[in-house]
A = this chain, B = another copy of it.
Amino acid sequence: MKDQFYSYILALQNRITQAIEDFDGKAKFEQDIWKRKEGGGGQSRIIENGAVIEKGGVNISAVYGALPKSMQTYFKVGEVDFFACGLSLVIHPKNPMAPTVHANYRYFEMYDDKGIILDQWFGGGQDLTPYYLFEEDVVHFHQQCKKACDKYHPDFYKEFKDNCDKYFYNKHRNESRGVGGLFFDYLKADKKLNIQDRFDFVTDVGNVFLDSYMPILNKRKDQFYNKINRNWQEIRRGRYVEFNLIHDKGTLFGLKTNGRIESILMSLPPYVQWHYNHEPAKGSEEFKLITILKNPREWI
């Protein structure tokens, strides 16, 4: 299964980076291959200063070896070996009318001292972070997410959508990071779905990524914006940074397993602002966004 999933994310990285490069037309992905001292490594692809994409990364990694102490505590296990691989992407478009997108598809194995698999599961999802709210964009994104889910179980979309709202939440601000999508973790073999079914599900979510995001980007990339819109985008990007550095388990996992810093922190936006007590005027477009982030709702 680990080879099967690694082959999948390798191919998905090629597919997504190719599509984004073709779409952007100006910037190219830069590739960095890195090794992890304790075992494994990754292949990071970063794009910057494009015509459409201001900064983005589509990274894959596969790390393995002895599970670090802090992760033993986290998973409540003893000294075991592990294998983890996944694809992580974040796209920050230049135009404030276009949303930031994040996706992650990952697989995890733990072994006993004979190398037998003790536990194995999938995790991941994809979610949208707009700076201005275009309901049709959010609905489109969620519809694509639902389509992938419905093939496997009628409850999946609702469950993983709710998970996503719960997970991408800036508790210290009492607001969501964005308008959600899907988030799932610890997807293990059970009575209904075996591990191959789980693989099929997660890869089907990965397969709808381009269809869920690129039409939105295409619609918004040339939309008019002014300095006020751009400042608002940079202020909201500050909230993105806060989530990733304070709350995000993926970032912490990377830091704790001695991942490559520049690959982990590629998720941070290029230009960011923090101003004291910034609050949008009631009734403004900016205010509308905040209202939705404070009260996550159904989109389908």
Binding site for B on A (CB under 8 A): 30, 32, 46, 48, 55, 57, 172-173, 238, 241-242, 245-246, 255, 261-262, 265-266, 268-277
Contacts and interface: CB of A to CB of B under 8 A. Distances in A.
Contacts of A238: 268, 272
Contacts of A270: 273-275
Contacts of A271: 271-273
B48 A275 contact: yes
Given A172-B255, A241-B245, A242-B245, A272 B273 contact: yes
A268 B261 CA distance: 21
A94 to B, nearest CB: 14
A251 to B, nearest CB: 9
Given A46-B277, A271-B272, 5 more contacts: A241-B241, A241-B272, A246-B255, A268-B274, A270-B275
Please report whether the interface of chain A is mostly helix, strand, loop or mixed according to DSSP.
mixed
B274 A269 contact: yes
B275 A272 contact: no
A277 B29 CA distance: 13
The 6 tightest CB contacts between A and B, nearest first, are A245-B245, A268-B274, A46-B276, A272-B272, A172-B255, A262-B277
14 contacts: A30-B276, A48-B275, A55-B276, A172-B255, A241-B241, A241-B245, A242-B245, A242-B265, A246-B246, A262-B277, A269-B274, A270-B275, A271-B272, A272-B274
Contact of A245 (B55, B246, B261): B246
Please indicate which of the listed interface residues A32, A46, A246 has the most CB atoms of chain B within 10 Å of its own CB.
A246
A261 B274 CA distance: 12
A54 to B, nearest CB: 11
A202 to B, nearest CB: 27
B262 A276 contact: yes
Given A238-B268, A245-B245, A245-B246, A172 B274 contact: no
A105 B255 CA distance: 30
